[in-house]
Amino acid sequence: MVLIIAKQVVKADKVDEFLEVTKSLIAGSNNEEGCIEYVLYRDQKESNIFHFVEKWKNRDAIKAHKAAPHYVAAGPKLKLIVEASEVSFHDPV
């Protein structure tokens, strides 16, 4: 299993748009064969900071995810509304 944590700092005036764009991304990702879990969390202190917490069966599943239509479609839209992004990959111990 691989855990991904993707922090997204959204432009303050684009939060509603971000939430709309991510609906299909979340739904599509959770339906992918290699996805164990794909959840979006909102920071309790800063309402424009979000974290995708993703669990994938393996790296091949992540590779397939990056080619999935819902992922490819969301990318350009998110680039316009996210000011900063940080992604980290984790293995279980």
pLDDT tens for the 93 residues of the chain, in order:
999 999 999 999 999 999 999 999 999 999 999 999 999 999 999 999 999 999 999 999 999 999 999 999 999 999 999 999 999 999 999
pTM for the whole thing? Answer: 0.93
The 3-state secondary structure of the chain, one letter per residue? CEEEEEEEEECHHHHHHHHHHHHHHHHHHHCCCCEEEEEEEECCCCCCEEEEEEEECCHHHHHHHHHCHHHHHHHHHHHHHEEEEEEEEECCC
- As a CATH number, domain 2-90 is 3.30.70.100
pLDDT in tens, 23-47: 999 999 999 999 999 999 999 999 9
